[in-house]
Chains A and B, each alone.
Chain A
Amino acid sequence: MMLEVQGLASRYGRIPALKGVDIQVRQGELVALVGANGAGKTTLLRALSGVQPVSAGRVLFEGRDITAAAPDKRVRLGIVQVPEGRQVFAPLTVEDNLRLGAYLRSKSQAAQTCERVYAMFPVLKSKRREAAGMLSGGQQQMLAIGRALMAEPRLLLLDEPSMGLAPRLVEEIFACVCALKEASTTIFLVDQNARAALAVADRAYVLETGRVVLTGSGAELMENEQVKEAYLGL
């Protein structure tokens, strides 16, 4: 088991956001997490990256307890997140954003991965000297994904990669997610676009007000009446 989340709880002040979440991700899997606004999806991903305090439960990565590990330690282990809202370093150039993605790696390793990222997103190469804040939303999303790839993730956490993008760009981003999976990156994907997320996922979890209420293969959940009604708008 690559990632094992056991009874994870987290709160904002006195307001609980996660109330005992159990999730498992195996090596090479693409696991999706769907749920409404405020269900705790982003909180869960932030807790996995170590930037959101945990009040109970454990997080195991390859059998190792990382519940209390600092964020940079988790990046070093290979847990890398593409945060919600892209969060690029707006005034820095595209190239600097990518280099910082490989902050914990050597210059030569970074240069190698950078070529791969440019091959995946040629538009980033053509804009490499521009400030990241000047890119379009879709380009910023590509940059955010590229920056995460620069760390050579073993487990990639994707938070709402298609949010606010035009349908054609959503397709492009999902194609890229599939390509990453083909290249055997393990992916944990959060997206409000439940249909697209379930379509590419091996397995999925449905989160409601801080609890996992359903789990199954992507195809199973697509056929589930509750999911159809609540998240697919059928």
Chain B
Amino acid sequence: MSLFLIAALPFLGAVLPALLIRAGRNAAASAAGLTTFLALMGLLIHIPSVMRGDVVTARFEWIPALGLNANFMLDGLGFLFALLILGIGLLIILYARFYLSREDPMGQFYTYLLLFQGAMVGIVLSDNILLLLIFWELTSLSSFLLIGYWKHLPEGRQGARMALAVTGGGGLAMIAGMLILGNIAGSYDLSVILQNKDLIQASPYYLPALILILLGCFTKSAQFPFHFWLPHAMAAPTPVSAYLHSATMVKAGLFLMARMWPVLAGTDAWFYIVATTGLITMLLGACIALFKDDLKALLAFSTVSHLGLVTMLLGFGTKFAVVAAVFHIINHATFKAALFMTAGIVDHETGTRDIKRLGGLRHLMPITFTIGTIAALSMAGLPPLNGFLSKEMMLEETVHTTWLNSHYLVPGLALLSALFSAAYSFRFVSHVFLGPERTDYPHHPHDPPVGLWLAPAFLVVLVVLIGLYSAAIVGPLVAVVSSAVLGGAELPYYSLKLWHGFTPALYMSVVAVVGGLFLLSLYRQSNALWNALPRPEAKVIFEAVIGALATLSRWITDTLHNGVLSRYAIIVVAFTVGLGYYAYTSGTIGPVTREPLPAPVIPIIGWICLVVATLAIMWFHRNRLLALVLIGVVGLIVSMAFNYLSAPDLALTQISVEVVTMILLLLSLNFLPTDTPRDSSPARRWRDAAISVVAGVGTGALIYAVMLRDFAFPTISDFHLANSYKGGGGTNVVNVILVDFRGFDTFGEIIVLGIAALIIFALTESVLSTNVRAYLLNRKPHWPQSGDSHPLMMVVATRVMMPIALMVGAYIFFRGHNQPGGGFIAGLVVAIAFLMQYMASGYTWAIERQRFFYHGTIGWGVLIAAATGIGAWFNERPFLTSDFGYINWPPLEEFEWATALLFDTGVFLAVLGAVMLALDSLSRLAWQPGMAQEFPMDINPLRNDPKVDELKEQA
């Protein structure tokens, strides 16, 4: 199976549980299980080539210019982790089906789980570090969803937030480190980076890159001092804890350290940072774990301790330590997943996981007792179980390690943590299962159904078999994985067996086990001592730091973003002016290359009108109606200027937009105050005026300079001119650009326009649903109303003009491809024709005759445009490729058809609908109940009109 498919399967499968949960919980669980099983089978197919030591790859160039390629590779290391992720994932899916209760949304659970699984598989199979980073962040996000799965529990939400903050923060550091590493190596492909050990370690950026990458690994793998998030993540359901903390999430950091081992390891910096951190974490985790009363907290800290163990081994930088680390990763995954599941079963069946309330369960839950005891003894490092083997190798390696010239420090501390480790493992067994039976369990405990204990039982069988026949079962795998971690270097001498003779490691093991038993026998005293010791509470510190950061950012936001919009505006303008000034002083300007056009009298008159009107707006803007009239003047002059300067399409658009904008602003002015009071002090007005003048002069000078110079580079306009007729079938190049060359832009723009109209509609709806409605219904207008709100002359004129206006619209629409016009302009013209009816005959009259809703018009417009674009796919062309041809129907003259016309129909409908919906919404605000009785121009004497009836009665 292709590596792409293996990585994609969990993501693809993630939708299934969410959909299938309606068919029942078994369907959702089976879909999740089947997806995982398929991916697992796909992985296992590659066993022969992986065991030969080959690297399976799948490459896809995505953005080669950025080095961002979707490259996957499968070597021994990736295979081991993918096997753990998918294999234990399958067991967890089985276990979770029986663990979760009816109230828990199981579809959601499996969806999150598969998303997480996909992200993890992506990490271990990535050959490109940018791709790896994406998957890395995805694990942080999806684990957030999983840890916070029980949304009703505050601990769950806090734990999820903490995990996201710590691992996500580390991930950010890692992005920086990876980018540095990629820059040093000159490639973002792991296979290239891994070949460049000398180059990377000689680089001055080696240390920063190392520290940043390790930050990512340490936060993810819960290494000291970032270990505190892991126990808090235990608020998640037990299947999540078992999955995240035995085989996957926390192992991602170990995976990456192993992956990068060939290039990063072997230096003093690596040894002292990684091995020391691992050693401290191992000791600290083991020590805390012993004194935890919550079963899952005990396992959480023991996980921290074991992660520290593997980190320390990788940090040693020796080949033998790598083999031990690889072996321990396998062993830890098996016994720890089984232990988490056991803890979940105990919790599920007794109703508590508080060790102080448990004990004596061995006869009540014999199966659980057997499973839990074997797994715990493996964790303690007792022969003949697998935990013993890798712990022996670890102890053996520490004996040969010197730390700052001390031969005893590392083995001593390792022995101490092995002792603690044995003690908490024995405590797990004795305080939960041994001892006298109790009568005060919250539930009556008994062994769970087979679905719940099958998965841990399977793992425990592995624990025993690996312990007894390690060389036969996992020997080849360990060899292949170790040589992948070592980067192809020769494997050291090692042997996976129980008996190596009387070695120092054996003595240390014996001391650890006996010491552990002794420590447990003194548990009461040591626990009292532990509780008497002062120790920092990580959660309190974390919350305090987060609280301080939140206060700081709130202060910054409130200071910069204090709600004074006019201040933001002035900052933006002043900054832009400053930027322009900097560009002007720092750049150079070429010589004038164009002759200015002559300026005859009429344009000069237009210019005078425009400038006078604009200055008058500035001066008289407090009289709002006057300012509006003056704006209209400016708009008219601008459209005339477009017409004069060879832009007939723009002139047509501008003048029709001008009309609808004016209607819109007049409508709004109906509700707003008629005058703007003088708010600003004279000093402020002068300051604003000064900034405005500087900005205006700058803008004017810039465009003046541009207009007098030719293009610095050849433009694409010549292409448009040359291909408009040949390729687009139209002679109006502006229209062909809109509907053809840049049709996708236009498509986006009509969508934006439609959204704007819908926003206006929604705002109107929400305003009218508040007490504003009562105010509007009883509102008195600002100005005296005209005596006749529907003047006869205007009503007649608009109704006569309606068909003519529609005809003009149609004409403009159809000629648009070859002559000035098109869908935009036609839509505006037809909208104006409708608006005239609203104005002359009244809103009530108009909507009584409205046969369709404007929402639908917008929708059809967008759909028609989209369908036209999609039509190109059926001819195996890209989206929105247009086609055209000529039709000859005698006796008509030959005429052209073009798919662009259909697209333009969509534009037409969308523009029409958007303009009408916007203005219609505003008009609704003005509606008052009395208006319903007013009839514009009573042309039908037979109609039932109360006024007429009244008159008849009087007569």
Q: Do A and B come from one complex?
A: no
**Which residues of B does A touch, CB under 8 Å?**
none
